[in-house]
Amino acid sequence: MLNRILVVLSLVLVTQLAVPMARAQDKPAVVLAGDVMVERSVEENGTTRTVLEAPTNVIPGDRLVFTTRYTNTLAELVEDFVITNPLPAAVVLLQDGDFDVSVDGGKTFGRFATMSVKLEDGADRPAELADVTHIRWTLARLAPGEQGQVRYFAAIR
């Protein structure tokens, strides 16, 4: 089970790296690099602190931090750049954030508070964090050479 979870997490990171090309150039307009870390509490000298570690051994309930770093590699402004991260089926989103979400496999996006899920009987119910399948950020303006990161927190189901 652990190996399957790590493979899924690795596939998500590879998916994050698929970036549209800038015009007809071979070089991507914005380069993305993603990673996932697990939060652990470590006690040292009677003090507990939180550390981030590579997810080599995860169990249900472990808190994960997914980070996507971005860099505008062009010598010009990039506008309305979209980063979309699918959530692995093995994880559940832990909190709403400054991003849009999808609860239908990436077909539609909106703010979490506005999302609903269609039930088998045709009725709708408000979306829950466990319903989120994708997260999307839209970066309004990236100056030449600008770098930054976006992140979200999830837990192993």
The full DSSP string for 18-37 is --PBSTT-SSBSEEEEEEEE
Q: What global pTM score does this model have?
A: 0.81
Percent of the chain with pLDDT over 90: 80
Spatial contact of 135 and 84, defined as CB atoms under 8 Å apart: yes
pLDDT at position 147: 98
pLDDT tens figures, 85-139:
999 999 999 999 999 999 999 999 999 999 999 999 999 999 999 999 999 999 9
Give the whole-angstrom CA distance, residue 70 versus residue 30.
6
Mean predicted lDDT score pLDDT of the chain: 87
